[in-house]
Chains A and B, each alone.
Chain A
Amino acid sequence: DAMVIQNPRYQVTQFGKPVTLSCSQTLNHNVMYWYQQKSSQAPKLLFHYYDKDFNNEADTPDNFQSRRPNTSFCFLDIRSPGLGDAAMYLCATSRGFGFGGLVTDTQYFGPGTRLTVL
């Protein structure tokens, strides 16, 4: 089945120790997104790639970086995790921008990586 895969599902890191989260997709979608979701809160968009074009949300901390080496893979790098960065990190994909009235243009989410910072 075509899907969005995230690894690892659970990640524990130490305060200040860099960590990388991985996302891959078999949907061949052009757009990949990273969201941060804290407990009982709405997912918060950090950034997205449209193909190779990177777009950072204005309020995303500099501590968060991303790489997309090819269509299928996207990585989230947290350079110096703080306790406040403990959250679920969600990867999502979409075919493009704008819905055009088609449900297939909406975003499809992976299962998430739960990050714990000690």
Chain B
Amino acid sequence: QKEVEQDPGPLSVPEGAIVSLNCTYSNSAFQYFMWYRQYSRKGPELLMYTYSSGNKEDGRFTAQVDKSSKYISLFIRDSQPSDSATYLCAMSEDDYKLSFGAGTTVTVRA
């Protein structure tokens, strides 16, 4: 069993729709949770960062962490074609090592 599981998709939605992405994990020691966005042939860029459980909102993006269920989510409201990318979840106990999901590929259709 992988330490971090992420549905690879692909996910295709019309412009303006809400995109819902999620990851589950098995290591209860994880306490830092991140979402990275990776455009085709580019490196991952940090999108959202959350410590412990709770919600965090940044513009059209909302990250949720439920440590009791070992489940994290990313919501993209009013999705745009420019949001088309692969979204990687990542998490850490509090050291150098990030555990990544395999990424979900999202396409927003104009």
Contacts and interface: CB of A to CB of B under 8 A. Distances in A.
Given A40-B8, A42-B103, A101-B51, A31 B41 contact: no
Contact of A90 (B34, B43, B102, B103): B43
A106 B49 contact: yes
Contact of B102 (A4, A41, A94): A41
Given A97-B95, A97-B96, A109-B44, A103 B8 contact: no
A112 B42 CA distance: 6
A64 interface: no
Do most interface residues of chain B lie in helix, strand or loop, or is the interface mixed?
loop
Nearest to B45: A109
Nearest to B86: A40
Interface range, B side: 20 to 34
B25 interface: no
Interface residues of A, number: 28
A107 B43 contact: no
Given A40-B8, A99-B32, A106-B34, A111 B96 contact: no
26 contacts: A31-B96, A33-B96, A42-B4, A42-B101, A42-B102, A43-B44, A43-B88, A43-B98, A43-B100, A45-B98, A48-B96, A50-B96, A90-B43, A90-B44, A98-B94, A99-B32, A99-B51, A99-B94, A103-B46, A106-B46, A106-B49, A107-B46, A107-B98, A111-B42, A112-B41, A112-B43
